[in-house]
Amino acid sequence: MTREQIIEFDKNNIMNTYGRLDLVPEEARGAVIKDKNGKEYIDFTSGIGVNIFGWNDEGWKSAVIDQIGRFQHVCNYYYCDKAAELAHMICEKTGLTNMFFSNSGAEANEGAIKLARKYSFDKYGAGRSTIITLNSSFHGRTVTTLAATGQDVFHNYFFPFTEGFKYCEPANIDALHEACTEDVCAVMLEVVQGEGGVNIMPADYIKAVRALCDERDILMIVDEVQTGIGRCGKFFGYMNYGITPDIVTSAKGLGGGLPIGAFISGEKCSKTLGGGMHGSTFGANPVSTAAAAYIVSKIDDDFLNEVNKKGEYIREKISAIDSDKIKEVRGVGMMIGIAVTVSPKDILHYAFDAGLLVLTAGKDVVRLLPPLSISYKEIDRGIEILEKILK
């Protein structure tokens, strides 16, 4: 198919839910994508934090191909070695105890919501099912996770939304105390809000949320779909805060480019879900779990130190750009936000034309989620483009 044909068929036959940019990838390696017309792009997005080892990583590819050579799908009535290995590794790394594998971040959050409500139902009976989430959060696109998302723009058209969510100002512990009425069973938050604008939650706030949840037997759910799997310089972002949530959700980078999500519980609700209470046909797919097991096995302290170093390097380089368009450069690890005085969408388009892929977040933020394995040479190439645009 020609480039023009691909674009035409896509426009005609795929629902128009994404504002697509004019890129038709032909091949890609590391942090460089080549379009069908030969133009190269430096990738500071990793497919929204998914391809965390970059494109075409040899080790990752081998893990996937090896598994495809064995078998592609095992139904969940039988065991799967890769899923067991992956679950064991993640629990060893986190101190959490039990996992459920889904196919996406939204599904992971749906599962976490079910788990929290069941925990509370078992212990306190009906009527204690409200979940508090934060303003400018993002938790997914299903009817329930849209309801969980604390942004009004997501609460249109698709009525009725799932009941039982309440929104609270982020980083304000007094507001959370006030919101924690008798009917609340859980608080769900991102330690760094991704879609909402790379908003970093302060340490004293996260610690106070943990304390409040402990005091009231409210479950603390941390949505690590974007912040997890090394993105924030620790295996999970919450590990930067010295706390352990009751439930953690993951997806995006977990499979390094294959669809997989998970919700993970600590001891407290490890036995809450029993036979027949949750399930997923594709959940724990052998190829996805083999990919994820490879990714997770490679995220050790040395790798995470590199993520932190590269993240600091990127932030320093951007901070050094002399431009009145930059308000603030912030971030944790390689989750980076540049608050700008102009439209971040405009910057995204200029960068795209100049051969650099970036994301936006919130109203005024250019968001960078480069592959965690990106080389310094690739970083420099990307920042050079960004510098030209911002100047």
CA distance 206 to 171: 8
Closer CB to ligand PLP, 94 or 227, in the complex: 227
Pick out residues in 21-80 that bind ligand PLP (CB under 6 A).
Answer: none
Which residue minimizes CB distance to ligand PLP? Answer: 105
| Interhelix angle 81-94/286-298, nearest 10 degrees | 30
Q: Does 344 bind ligand PLP (CB under 6 A)?
A: no
- Write the CB contacts of 73 (distance below 8 Å, at least 6 apart in sequence): 282, 285, 286, 287
Pick out residues in 75-104 that bind ligand PLP (CB under 6 A).
Answer: 104
| Nearest residue to 338 (alpha-carbon basis) of 376, 291, 292, 383 | 383
Q: H or E segment at 265? A: strand 261-265
Closer CB to ligand PLP, 307 or 359, in the complex: 359
Closer CB to ligand PLP, 227 or 265, in the complex: 227
How far apart are CB 318 and ligand PLP at their closest, in Å?
Answer: 22
Closer CB to ligand PLP, 194 or 382, in the complex: 194
Pick out residues in 112-151 that bind ligand PLP (CB under 6 A).
Answer: 138-140
The three-class DSSP label of residue 231 is coil
DSSP track, 163-208: S-EEEE-TT-HHHHHHH--TTEEEEEE-SEETTTT-EEPPHHHHHH
How far apart are CB 48 and ligand PLP at their closest, in Å?
Answer: 7
Pick out residues in 218-257 that bind ligand PLP (CB under 6 A).
Answer: 223, 225-226, 251-252
Tokens (6 digits) for 116: 């929290």
Among 54, 150, 194, 233, binds ligand PLP (CB under 6 A): 194
CA distance 140 to 138: 6
Among 45, 46, 87, 105, binds ligand PLP (CB under 6 A): 105
CA distance 348 to 64: 32
Among 33, 63, 106, 201, binds ligand PLP (CB under 6 A): 106
Tokens (6 digits) for 184: 């609340």
Contacts with ligand PLP by CB under 6 A lie at 104-106, 109, 138-140, 190, 194-195, 223, 225-226, 251-252
